[in-house]
Structure 1
Amino acid sequence: MLELSGLVAGYGRRALAKLGHLQVKDGEAALLTGPSGAGKTTLLLAIAGLADVLEGHVQVAGRDMATLPARERDRHRGRHIGTIFQDLHLVPGLSALDNLLLAPFASGQRQDRARATELLTRLGLADRVHAGAETLSRGEAQRTAIARAMLIGPSLILADEPTASLDDESCETVLALLLDATRESGAALVIATHDSRVKARVSNIALVVAA
C-alpha cells in the first residue's frame, strides 16, 4: 500500500512538485495528473526514493521513504517497488529475459528465470523471450518493461506516462495489462499521466502542482 501526505519533492533544496494526500490500497490504481511541467515525474521519482522528499511523508510497504537512510532506501525500493519509466531503459545487447533478470541481480536478489519467463509468456512474449532488446517493437518493449516491474512481486508499481504517444488501440492494450497485472499481483499502482484516455479508466486521481 502507498500513503503519502504533504509531499514536496525536488532535488537538493529546490522544490519542484507538491501533492497534498494520496492513498492507494493493495490491488488498486491511482493517477498523478497535472499540466506539463507540474513535476509529475519528479513526484513519482520521490515516491520511489530517487528524488528528494523535502517535506511530508511517503509510506511504501510500511516504511517511510523520506526518512530511510540511502542504502536502506535503495534496498527497500529493490524489494518492494517496480518502476516503468517513460523511456523504458531496456539494455541493448541483452535479451528480453536478461533485461528482467538484471534488476534482481543489481539489488542482490535471486534471479528467478522460471518466473521471468512465465511473466513474459503471460504478456504475450513467449516467442520473444530470447530476442535482443533492440529488436523488440515498441509494444513488445513496453510489455517487457511491465514484466520487469512485476518480477519482484512488488508492493507498488510506478508507471511514468506509459501511454504517451501510443495510438488508441495500443493505449488500451498497455492500460489493460497494467490494471490486470495490478489486480492479479495485489500491488498498488500509480500512473503519472496527462492522458485523458487513462483518466477515463481510473477514478482515484490526485493533482500534482508545481512548487
Structure 2
Amino acid sequence: MILLTGFEPFGGETVNPSWTAAQLAATALQAAGRNAAAVELPCVFGKSAELLRDAIGRLEPMLVLCVGQAGGRSRVSIERVAINVDDARIPDNAGNAPVDQPVRLGGPAAYFSTLPIKAGRAAVAAAGLPVEVSQTAGTYVCNHVFYALMDALAGLDGVRGGFIHVPFSEEQGLHHGQPGLAVEDMAAALTLVATAALTADGDLVDGDLRVAAGAEH
C-alpha cells in the first residue's frame, strides 16, 4: 500500500493543489497496478499529525508520501530533513500559532527522509518536470507533518516515507504573480517519486543515487 496525503487550503487560498495532486497520483498508481490511497489532512498543528498516524495504522502502508504546498517555489521539492520545531509565521486553520515549540517534546532534533530522494529527483527530471532536492521544509504545518511522519515510521520496520512540496497551481501562480505548475504535472512527479522508491516486484528500493543535489545556501 502506498499512502499519499495532501492538505486542505490555508492562508486565504480556496484550493490546495497538494491534495488534488495526491488524489491524481493515487489514481495513476492504481491504474499501474499499485495499491494506493490518498488522505486529506487539515492544516492544523497536532490534528494533522494525529490523522496521519491514524491513516498509517489503518492502511498499514509500506510507503508514505506526504505532500504540501510551498507557494513561491518554482519546482517540485523533495524534502531531505524534518526538524523538531513548530514556529508559525501565520496561524493555522484553527488559529494556532506556536512559536519555538517542539513537534514532539524530547524527540530527536531531526529526521531524514527515507525516500530515495535523488533517484526520485532524477526520475522527475528525466520526464522534463521542474524538480529539486530541498534542504528545508520550513517550520509550519508541512514540517510538523513531515516530522510526525518520520517519528511514526521510526518504530516501524520496512516502511519508508518522506515529504514533497509542490508550487502554486498555474491559476494560483497567475493570481499571485508567482511561479505555478499544472496540477497534472505535480501528480506525475509524485507518481514518479513513488515508483522510484519501488522495484518492479513492488519491494522497496534499497539505497539511492550517489549524485550531488545540495545547496550553497
Using structure 1 for the length normalisation, give the TM-score.
Answer: 0.27
Q: Which has the higher helix share?
A: 1
